Every structure is written in structure tokens, then in C-alpha cells.
């Protein structure tokens, strides 16, 4: 059974840092594009970042302009986990952060068929 | 960046009625559109991908259509569990991946 479990959320002051993790089980995450998608309180969905799942490109990462240069997505193949390191956090980064898996391995289909329950990040003084 | 505009923002219907949700893209995205359902306190759930393909386990009352810039999600007969927020998402011109602003289907 596919499962995604996020952890690491919490309250952080503006300008601070936080690291989110996503533990994947039931599939080999390194062969899939994986993504982080966030949702501000009461708002819609916003794509944050993605890591490539194609052979030979599994370290390639992509970011929304709103987080580029501040957030870094990575994966630990041995642990089947993903991480999102967030620096220089702003109040507008306050959101639930979802980890999501794409439908087909080895392709950039960017269709999200499984989502974790999310981790809440609150940026406030 | 491809902007997806969903309408209406809110749809007030009764169980058993037909729901028609629209998603319009700012440029052609062929058929590379997905629809998700989200209930309060839950993550999104994939319903439809590539405009008209139902995801695994999705009931036949959900159907999608369209290509180019205009897409529709239809729920043929609303069940009580279908009252939720629905989002569309495009995957052809990325980064960035983009989502529509959502349509809330509420009980009338």
C-alpha cells in the first residue's frame, strides 16, 4: 500500500528555517517524480517543488519562483524519503505542505495520484 | 505561466442533481488536465487525468471532457460524499505546475 507521511512542521519566526520530511512506503520513490504542494489556510493549491524520477536525472529539481533560492528539495534513496529544506521563511509561506507522488514511474507525467496528509508550517513572530 | 480559471466559484446543488464545473486555460494545454477533489481536513484526491481518464477507484458518475483551453468536470448525479472543493491542474507547460482556484460544490 502506498503511503506518504510528512513530518517536521511547526511554528517558526520570519527569517527562520525549517526542514520537512516525507517518508514514502509501498513504492520506490526514486523512480517517480515527487513534489511538494502547499495550501495556505482557506486558500487553493500551490505547487512548490518537484524532483525528477527519470533514470539518470533523479537529482534534478524544479521550483516555483516564489520559493526559488530559499527552498531546497532533496531525496535520500536509501531511506526512501524526501526532504524540503526551507530558509528565509516569510509569513506568506504559512501553509499545509503536502508531499505528492506522480502516477507513472520514469516519466514526467506530473499527475499526482497519492498525497500525504500534510504538515502545517506557520511563520509568525 | 498557464493560468487556470475555474467557474463558478461556488455551485449550490441538491443530492441527485447534475454538477457541471468549468476550467479554462490561458493557453492551449492539449488534454493535459487533471481534476482533484478535496474535502475539509483531507489531502486532494485524483479524480480525472488527461482530461477524461478516471483514476483508479473513481466512480463512473465522474466524467471529464475538453481539450485545448476549455474543460469540464461533470458529476452526473451528486451523492452526499461529493460535496467538496474541486481543483483542476495543468501539466504541459511547467515549471510552474499550476492549479485553478477551485470550485466549491455545496449542498443547496
Instruction: Indicate yes or no: CB of B43 within 8 angstroms of CB of A118.
Output: yes
- B10-23: pLDDT as tens digits: 999 999 999 999 99
| DSSP code at position B44 | -
Tell me the average pLDDT across B6-10: 97
Taking the alpha carbons at both ends of chain A, their separation in whole angstroms is 40
Q: What is the bridge-based pairing of β-strands A71-76 and A81-86? A: antiparallel
Chain B residue whose CA is closest to A99: B43
- What is the full DSSP assignment across B55-85? PTT--TTEEEEEETTEEEEEESS--GGG-SE
What separation in angstroms does the CA of A99 have from each of A61, A73, A120, A124, B23? Answer: 14, 11, 12, 23, 24
Instruction: Report the gap between the CA of B102 and the closest CA in chain A (Å).
Output: 7
Chain B interface includes A44 (CB < 8 A)? yes
Chain B interface includes A65 (CB < 8 A)? yes
Which set of grid coordinates corresponds to residue A62?
524544479
Set of chain B residues whose Cβ sits within 8 Å of the Cβ of A63: 95
Nearest CB to A44; choose among B34, B49, B101: B101
Going by pLDDT thresholds of 50, 70 and 90, the confidence category of residue A115 is very high
Mutation site for B-interface testing, chosen from A45, A52, A60, A101 by largest number of B Cβ within 10 Å: A45
> What does residue B85 show for φ and ψ, rounded to 5 degrees?
-105, 140
Set of chain A residues whose Cβ sits within 8 Å of the Cβ of B48: none
Nearest CB to A117; choose among B43, B49, B56: B43
Going by pLDDT thresholds of 50, 70 and 90, the confidence category of residue A106 is confident
Q: Count helices and strands (H / E) in chain B.
A: 0, 11
pLDDT on residue B82: 98
Instruction: Report the gap between the CA of B77 and the closest CA in chain A (Å).
Output: 24
- B42-93: pLDDT as tens digits: 999 999 999 999 999 999 999 999 999 999 999 999 999 999 999 999 999 8
- A39-91: pLDDT as tens digits: 999 999 999 999 988 766 777 999 999 999 999 999 998 999 999 999 999 99
Beta bridge partners of B6: B23
Tell me the average pLDDT across A105-115: 93
Q: Which long-range contacts (CB under 8 A, 24 or more apart) does B43-52 make?
A: B43/A98, B43/A115, B43/A116, B43/A117, B43/A118, B44/A37, B44/A45, B44/A98, B44/A112, B44/A115, B44/B87, B45/A115, B46/A103, B46/A111, B46/A112, B46/A113, B47/B73, B47/B86, B48/B73, B49/A103, B49/A111, B50/A111
Instruction: Indicate yes or no: CB of B50 within 8 angstroms of CB of A111.
Output: yes
Apex CA B1: angle with CA A124 and CA B5, to 5°? 85
Set of chain A residues whose Cβ sits within 8 Å of the Cβ of B96: 47, 64-65
Amino acid at each position: 500500500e502506498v503511503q506518504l507521511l510528512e513530518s517536521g512542521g511547526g511554528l517558526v519566526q520570519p527569517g527562520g528555517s525549517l526542514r520537512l520530511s516525507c517518508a514514502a512506503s509501498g513504492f520506490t520513490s526514486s523512480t517517480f517524480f515527487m513534489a511538494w504542494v502547499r495550501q495556505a489556510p482557506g486558500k487553493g493549491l500551490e505547487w512548490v517543488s518537484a524532483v525528477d524520477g527519470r533514470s539518470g536525472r533523479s537529482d534534478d529539481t524544479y521550483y516555483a519562483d516564489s520559493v526559488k533560492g530559499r527552498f531546497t528539495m532533496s531525496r535520500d534513496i536509501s531511506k526512501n524519503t524526501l526532504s524540503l529544506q526551507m530558509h528565509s521563511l516569510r509569513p506568506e509561506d504559512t501553509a499545509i505542505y503536502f508531499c505528492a507522488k506522480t502516477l507513472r514511474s520514469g516519466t514526467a507525467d506530473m499527475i499526482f495520484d497519492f498525497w500525504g496528509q500534510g504538515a502545517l508550517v506557520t511563520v509568525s513572530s | 505561466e498557464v493560468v487556470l480559471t475555474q467557474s463558478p466559484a461556488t455551485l449550490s446543488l441538491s443530492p441527485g442533481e447534475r454538477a457541471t464545473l468549468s476550467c479554462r486555460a490561458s493557453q492551449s494545454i492539449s488534454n493535459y488536465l487533471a481534476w482533484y477533489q478535496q474535502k475539509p481536513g483531507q489531502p486532494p484526491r485524483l479524480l480525472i487525468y488527461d482530461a477524461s481518464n478516471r483514476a483508479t477507484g473513481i466512480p463512473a458518475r465522474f466524467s471529464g471532457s475538453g481539450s485545448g483551453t476549455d474543460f469540464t468536470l461533470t458529476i452526473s448525479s451528486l451523492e452526499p460524499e461529493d460535496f467538496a472543493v474541486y481543483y483542476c491542474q495543468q501539466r504541459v507547460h511547467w515549471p510552474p505546475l499550476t492549479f485553478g482556484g477551485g470550485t466549491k460544490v455545496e449542498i443547496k
